[in-house]
Amino acid sequence: MFTGIVEEIGQVKSFDGSRLVVECSKVLDGTQIGDSIAINGCCQTVVSMNANSFSADVSTETLRITKGFKGKVNLERALTPQSRMGGHIVQGHVDGCAKYLGNSRFEIPSELARYVVYKGSITIDGVSLTISKTDRNIFEVALIPHTLENTTLQYLKPGDFVNIETDILGRYVEKFLSTQNNSNITENFLKENGFL
């Protein structure tokens, strides 16, 4: 589990289609073989490491669902019980890719748009962000200078693709509601309980 608070920008040293090697320094501190590191929001297992890089084996599912691995990448080590929860609950399980439109706006696939809510959380390339505006499958995020300066989001150009992880809480609520007898849930019930 992660928080979406990027610890370091790393550099992809090599990627042969299955083994990924990332140059970095800060996230290696205290890291051991078998630990998880989120690379652009994608949870990967450290399979080897040295003084200035680590390696991970990338699955075909990861390659299918993400934008891939090249250039500069956002890195975050998995949470420990002593970690501060500065962002939101991030699994490191990318849902898909979105296209950057410019001015902090992104176009997300229609099937993921239902999980994008105003003032909700979303993870973009591993960065925990707050949604500041929505319009069907286009959303905007609130970006502060500190976040831009310390993540790869500073390098985005219109037309670039980013990894997206929607908020897990919304997916759990949807699953729960889809498997329950919801005959008591009406529009009036939702209004009375602050959902509408």
pLDDT (average), residues 70-89? 91
Q: Across the strands, what pairs with 9? A: 74
**Residue 67 domain-assigned?**
yes
pLDDT (average), residues 23-49? 98
Whether 107 and 50 share a structural domain: no
pLDDT (average), residues 49-69? 97
**Residue 1 domain-assigned?**
no
**Residue 196 domain-assigned?**
no
Q: How many domains does the chain divide into? A: 2
- Please state, for a pLDDT cut of 70, what percent of the chain lies above it: 97
Whether 21 and 72 share a structural domain: yes
pLDDT grade for 193, boundaries at 50, 70 and 90: confident
pLDDT tens per residue, range 126-151: 999 999 999 999 999 999 999 999 99
CB 92 within 8 A of CB 61: no
Beta strands 42-50 and 36-39, pairing class: antiparallel
**Residue 192 domain-assigned?**
no
190 pLDDT above the threshold of 80: no
**Residue 140 domain-assigned?**
yes
**Residue 84 domain-assigned?**
no
Q: Which of 84, 96, 77 is nearest to 165 (CA)?
A: 96
Q: Which of 19, 25, 149, 147 is nearest to 75 (CA)?
A: 25
**Residue 91 domain-assigned?**
no
Question: Which three-class secondary structure state does DSSP give residue 136?
Answer: coil
- Please state, for a pLDDT cut of 90, what percent of the chain lies above it: 81
CB 112 within 8 A of CB 154: no
CB 39 within 8 A of CB 163: no
CATH number at 43 reads: 2.40.30.20
Whether 117 and 174 share a structural domain: yes
DSSP track, 96-109: EEEEEEETTEEE--
State how far the Cα of 76 lies from the Cα of 181, in Å rounded to an integer: 40
**Residue 57 domain-assigned?**
yes
183 pLDDT above the threshold of 70: no
Range of the domain at 46: 8-77
182 pLDDT above the threshold of 80: no
Whether 115 and 49 share a structural domain: no
- pLDDT score for 192: 82
Residue 83: HSE in the Cβ half-sphere, 13 Å Cα cutoff: 17
Rounded mean pLDDT of the chain?
A: 93
Whether 23 and 63 share a structural domain: yes
Whether 103 and 37 share a structural domain: no
